[in-house]
Chain A
Amino acid sequence: MATTLGPGTPPAAAAHPDDAARPAPPEPLLRVRDLSVTYPSARGPVTAVRDVSFAVRPGEILGLVGESGSGKSSVCTAVMGLLPDGTRRDAAEIAFEGRDLARLRDRDMRRLRGRRIALVPQQPMTSLSPTTPVGRQLRWYLGGLLDDPAVRGLLADIGLGPVLDRPRDLPGAFSGGQLQRLVIAVAALSHRPALLLADEPTTTLDATVQAQVLKLLLTLREQLGLAMLYVSHDLAVVGQICDRVGVMYGGRLVETAPVAELFANPRHPYTRALVASMPSTTPADEPLRPIPGTAEGANALAGCPFAPRCPDVVDACRTAMPASRRIGAGTVGCHTADHGADEGEAT
């Protein structure tokens, strides 16, 4: 059903990727304010996401990192409007292309989904029909675009040659990497969405295949001007492909910063501890420094979720969640991080 796009539509003349680096940031494509998500459970409601605010600019890749249970996937699902029944989603605003998704009727949201906002799930196998040949599934999603030599060329370029050559094979005959690329291609090409939500798209892939998929995502961004929300538990992956990173802990977004700044000068105590515990950011002659304690129960705390494990904790941390403050090019939600003078050139 390629009704919105005829065959031969020229490659989208969308935002140039350099936009993200320009001094005057353009109007955000997606702006989320005070998003909270609460799941029902046998032991009462569980708040997985609490008062999360962020913005994604056109052509920008915003990474969302956190450990398991930090709420990063819930943010993704909430923006997409795909939370399971019985889940509460509260938001002051989820502004996307001039509309507030938080107030949109289901049927209007359905029209947006897959067309303006597309999701790349973690398991590609679960979003393809296992009993339908891949050629026919590609035809479902891409329609007449599949006859466009430019589109076929792009598909071949991103390593989907085998899929085009064996259209009658079932998804099971292809590798996880090929299927993941197929799903990404469908999400990005079928309706040329403005925003791609990628929920751990490379977590199940091997290193050499992951490198190819990351390259594919960046190629698509350059060619189509796609903006992305990239959710991952892997700070190293996020550091490689994102422009800005949001760090989540216990359902809160504790810090956002441009990638280079996040690693060079992490502000929030959790981000600092996380960077210090990572092998790829710790010099080989220094020992890794694990974060003491666990993240368990952090979601339920009234104050800062990191307070029980934080080395810089003060009394205020236990009672109230600090408001997000602008520091440098990022934002930090912490009572103690970097007050005043020592901004910027600390290292």
Chain B
Amino acid sequence: MTGIAQPRKEQAAPGRTPMLAATGLRRYFPVPRGLGKRGPAAQVHAVEDVSFDVAAGEILAVVGESGCGKSTVARMLAGLSEPTGGTVALDGRDLPARRGAADQRLVQLVTQNPRAAFNRRRGIRHALHQPLRVHGLAAGKDEREKAALDAIRRVGLSEEHLDRMPRDLSGGELARLVLARALLVGPRVLVLDEPTASLDASVKATVVNLLLRLRDELGLAIVLITHEIDIARRLADRAAVMYLGRIAEIGPAAEVLHEPAHPYARMLLASVPEPDLTRTGPARAADTGAIGEVPSAIEPPPGCAFHPRCPLATAECAVDVPEPRLLGGVTVSCHHAADNAVVEG
């Protein structure tokens, strides 16, 4: 394909109004200096120029390995971390860097460990009434109780869970309760940070099916941050692969999570363990071509951050940061993705 454009940010497809749009998001963290060291403090470039948008009723998966900045993106979307640069817009309106409670309510974050997300000394009823009280959403106790009941039934649990303590509930039930709590305040966007990472295999399926149902019922825009590719494949309509703070590739999940163009995305997908059902003899390791590890984000490699591990790297990659280019339906940040696509036919 030669239809190479250079979009500064990923354009919304026609007929798709973005509910949530991130434009040029950056987040740097200062690194504490050692005692007696002088000069400017070093900085971790956790997120570097990240842009994407999500429509209502759509799930965007953001996948990548630890340290790629995906959780920092989640915190910025939810207004818990102030971007060093760039903006987050909701339904066409830029949200201020310091968000008021009214805006905070519209973008809800669900964090990784559901057990840590509840007050251990208060029951579930308290946990579900509290957000309504904080946002002044229900007048009086009865209305709060009614809203809490609605929410708890929506995630497939029953009234009796309201009287339980977090310690008496299983991981799967708590995972559904955090979702119920996030939905109580009527958000437009749900940001899920590793919603299934701490769950056992048999429980993951429950949460995956629940998320699919909620997306269809409520028309939410959902950003799913995960390192579990198989979960992302199940849930996502579109997907972004991040590496060292940048988006390497973004586009329809059917392409990005199955036939990616970026060499890092390919390495990542090849590394996902899949049982080889045709094997009869002893196990042999699949050659994923994976070499090395993610370098430090304090001094990321110059040019394309992936070039030291990349099989396609040339001199150009060590110097120039690749601009995102539209390749078919997918936006890829790679100098060689186009050549690659031709080779693959």
Question: Contacts A207-B227, A207-B268: A240 and B170 contacting too (C-beta < 8 A)?
Answer: no
Interface centre among A60, A207, A221, A279 (most CB of B within 10 A): A207
Is A236 in the interface zone, CB < 8 Å from B?
yes
Q: Tell me the bound Cα distance from A221 to B270 in angstroms.
A: 22
Question: Contacts A67-B202, A177-B293, A290-B202: A211 and B288 contacting too (C-beta < 8 A)?
Answer: yes
Q: Tell me the bound Cα distance from A263 to B280 in angstroms.
A: 12
Question: Contacts A206-B227, A233-B200: A211 and B293 contacting too (C-beta < 8 A)?
Answer: no
Write the nearest CB–CB distance from A231 to chain B, whole angstroms.
15
Tally of A interface residues using CB under 8 Å = 56
Question: Contacts A18-B281, A288-B208: A211 and B202 contacting too (C-beta < 8 A)?
Answer: no
Flag B3-20 by CB within 8 Å of A: 1 or 0 each. Answer: 000000000000000000
Question: Contacts A288-B209, A290-B209: A20 and B288 contacting too (C-beta < 8 A)?
Answer: no
Write the nearest CB–CB distance from A74 to chain B, whole angstroms.
17
Flag A51-79 by CB within 8 Å of B: 1 or 0 each. Answer: 00000000111000001100000000000
**Beta-carbon contact of A212 and B290 below 8 Å:** yes
**Beta-carbon contact of B288 and A281 below 8 Å:** no
Is B229 in the interface zone, CB < 8 Å from A?
yes
Q: Which B156-199 residues have C-beta < 8 A from chain A? A: 170, 172
- Interface SS of B by simple majority: loop
Write the nearest CB–CB distance from B68 to chain A, whole angstroms.
9
**Beta-carbon contact of A239 and B273 below 8 Å:** yes
**Beta-carbon contact of A279 and B234 below 8 Å:** yes
Q: Tell me the bound Cα distance from A286 to B202 in angstroms.
A: 16
Instruction: Enumerate chain A interface residues (CB-CB to B < 8 A).
Output: 17-18, 20-21, 59-61, 67-68, 159, 175, 177-178, 206-212, 214-215, 218-219, 221, 233-243, 259-260, 263-264, 273-274, 277-281, 284, 287-291, 294-296
8 closest cross-chain pairs (CB), A and B: A239-B275, A215-B285, A211-B271, A279-B230, A290-B205, A288-B205, A206-B65, A67-B200
A-B contacts, 16 listed (Cβ < 8 Å): A21-B281, A67-B201, A207-B271, A210-B273, A212-B288, A212-B290, A233-B201, A234-B201, A235-B201, A236-B230, A240-B285, A260-B280, A278-B201, A280-B275, A284-B234, A288-B205
